[in-house]
Copies of this chain bind each other. A is one copy, B any other.
């Protein structure tokens, strides 16, 4: 008995809350997968549930869906091109092409959603005002995350929409509000007006609905995976990879 307890204790670190199986049941966060999850919950609800360990309210679900669909795809981005070019070499291993597409979600593309989430959450946790938080970044020579977009220079069309949805659902929380103040403080301190970008608004909204800041970058990748699957479906029908390669080769070899 003592031995059994000790072993149970020794292996506690190997337990996971997320999922488990036995011959007759599969459980997800303690729910029975077949009867309590399948047919009852959407992928968005399961994503929320697995990451936060509680069911989303209707409003949280609606905001989460808005965030996810806002970042699912933006056409022939470096991420989509990397996935399609990987498919060119290894069409039999579609998981590799998707992984290649996700690997570009870093500090420049997509990652800023998570960076904004972490920046705002740290400021809120410290009770730091927007102008202090901005001043600290500017002093350290760092960019303020969540601001500016190479294409949407005046306004990112996703941002007002996400704020409006959060407001409608009563979920315009401290992180979305701080981000607005951050944009104003940034303009005041630098003289440069940068709009809140869609990734930044997404990151703020995720924290406001309860997603841990460190999971924001990952949550966004669930949606991006959907976009990449669509690119690979299109690539299978009308291959862009081989033609892009051929054109690059030809132009690179031009005397």
State the A residues within 8 Å of B (CB): 7-8, 11, 13-26, 28, 33-35, 37-39, 41-44, 46-47, 50-51, 62, 65-66, 68-70, 72-82, 85-100, 102-111, 114, 151-155, 157-158, 160-162, 165, 198, 212, 214-215, 217-219, 221-223, 225-234, 236, 238, 240-245, 248-249, 251-255
Contacts and interface: CB of A to CB of B under 8 A. Distances in A.
A136 to B, nearest CB: 13
A18 B98 contact: no
Q: How many copies does the complex hold?
A: 4
Contacts of A66: 38-39
A245 B251 CA distance: 16
Contact of A103 (B21, B35, B42, B86): B86
B106 A90 contact: yes
**Secondary structure class of chain A's binding surface, majority of residues:** helix
A104 B96 CA distance: 7
Nearest to A17: B234
Contacts of A162: 38
B95 A248 contact: no
A92 B107 contact: yes
Nearest to A154: B23
